[in-house]
């Protein structure tokens, strides 16, 4: 009996080691490298260096639901596009971009829509475009790029009387006290701060709408299957976290 056990000892040791050898590989396969840049309030880098924003909350919960961990990698937009094509980054959350079309795995449906609104008091005139804001007092959020519209907003030709707000609450305080005519903010944070402050008689007009898609590098294994599963989970998570009343 002792002889049999002695002969089987190498096999027993091997069987005990196999799970430890396999586990790190499996864990590595469940990690995704996510490319990010500053696009508040959807995602940006906090003062502590950590990612924050509406899409970060959604992504984090959705990936956890399907058993994935992720690592943030902050970079400029051109670099992010290049890295997802090369496979150095696994995931991006962007609008459709011609530089990566056909070279990555795009989700079939948007994971959310970025809606830029002009908030104003009920007695203030509605606006349909940036031209309608000409000569008006407008609160802008510090650090926001406004979907590429910032240069137009800051141009002397816009004739805007700009007030820079430090945060959403600061912007809506300016509106409440009638120090500005309009606040340019996005749907989700605007809706949230109006509720928190208990503001009445605040209306809004849509200025810009852009759909955000999930993009996976073509180097990711089973990318089409994963992007389909993840975009569905993220859409459901978005509705759960930011459903309109």
SS3 209: strand
Domains of the chain with CATH codes: 32-112+210-242 (3.40.190.10), 114-209 (3.40.190.10)
In the chain, % helix, strand, coil (3-state, to 5) comes to 45, 25, 30
The pTM of this model reads 0.76
Cβ(105)–Cβ(216) under 8 Å? yes
pLDDT of residue 10 exceeding 80: no
Separation between Cα atoms, residue 245 and residue 242, nearest integer Å: 9
Exposure pattern of 105-128 as b/e (b: 16+ CB <10 Å)? bbbeebbbebbbbbbbbeebeebe
Phi and psi at 167, nearest 5°, equal -155, 180
Cβ(74)–Cβ(37) under 8 Å? yes
Position 190 scores a pLDDT of 94
Q: What is the rounded average pLDDT of the residues 130-146?
A: 94
Mean pLDDT of the chain: 88
pLDDT per position as a tens digit, 16-46: 554 554 444 344 458 999 999 988 899 999 9
């Amino acid at each position: 009996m002792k002889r049999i056990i002695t002969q089987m000892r190498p096999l027993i040791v091997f069987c005990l080691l196999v799970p430890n050898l396999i586990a790190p590989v499996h864990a590595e396969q469940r990690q995704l490298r996510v490319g990010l840049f500053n696009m508040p309030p959807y995602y940006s880098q906090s003062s502590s260096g950590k990612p924050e924003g509406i899409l970060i909350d959604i992504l984090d919960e959705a990936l956890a639901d399907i058993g994935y961990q992720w690592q943030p990698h902050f970079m400029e937009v051109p670099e992010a596009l290049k890295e997802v094509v090369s496979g150095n980054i696994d995931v991006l959350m962007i609008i459709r971009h011609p530089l990566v079309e056909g070279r990555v795995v795009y989700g079939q449906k948007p994971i959310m829509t970025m809606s830029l609104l002009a908030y104003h008091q009920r007695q203030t005139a509605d606006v349909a475009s940036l031209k309608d804001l000409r000569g008006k007092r407008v609160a802008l959020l510090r650090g926001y790029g406004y979907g590429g519209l910032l240069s137009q907003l800051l141009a002397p030709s816009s004739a805007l009387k700009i007030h820079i707000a430090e945060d959403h609450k600061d912007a809506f305080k300016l509106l409440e006290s009638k120090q500005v005519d309009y606040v340019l903010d996005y749907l989700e944070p605007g809706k949230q701060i109006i509720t928190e402050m208990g503001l009445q008689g605040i209306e809004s007009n849509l200025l810009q709408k852009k759909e955000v898609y999930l993009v996976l590098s073509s180097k990711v294994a089973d990318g089409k299957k994963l992007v389909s599963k993840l975009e569905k989970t993220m859409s459901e998570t978005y509705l759960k976290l930011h459903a309109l009343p």
